[in-house]
Structure 1
């Protein structure tokens, strides 16, 4: 973590400020390879949910700028798209998200404080 500003400064100085974003690609590939070795249950699932991915991405692309720039209709559109994501996931045979986890209080809100 302490080397990050130095590496970022070197990349920006040598190749321009856009180069600092390229460092994430090799780091991401190394992390992905490490995860595939350390978490075997994540290997071989092999399915994508393109409609669910598109719905949640569109929702976030509407909600975030809508909140930042205070555009109520854009936030409303994002909320509708988020509802569409939930509908898509509930109807999907291989959903991205298991909504059953939300029934587990510890998962949904976190553990209770100690007595």
Structure 2
């Protein structure tokens, strides 16, 4: 997958927030606010789960795209940069292979 596609989607969504376009579904979500955006993320996540149980790959991919789009709207709404997410994923990638049981518990003071 081309990372540029996600960067481009993020840029378009951010631009819609900064420069509203009449008739834009993205602007509709921003205008309705956080509750509507969260509702759509929840609905689309549920549809991904249902599609995953079916055998139709195209339907599953479509639902994943819907949830990614709505997550991007949420990310922009919360003023999170894609780089913030990339940095966190990078930090987590350094932990790959570390089993939780092998980690030392933090002592309580």
Fold-level similarity (TM above 0.5): no
User: Under a length normalisation based on structure 2, what TM-score does the superposition of the two structures give?
Assistant: 0.42
User: Under a length normalisation based on structure 1, what TM-score does the superposition of the two structures give?
Assistant: 0.40
User: Which structure has more RCO (C-alpha within 8 Å, separation ≥ 6)?
Assistant: 2
Question: Which entry has the higher C-alpha Rg, 1 or 2?
Answer: 1
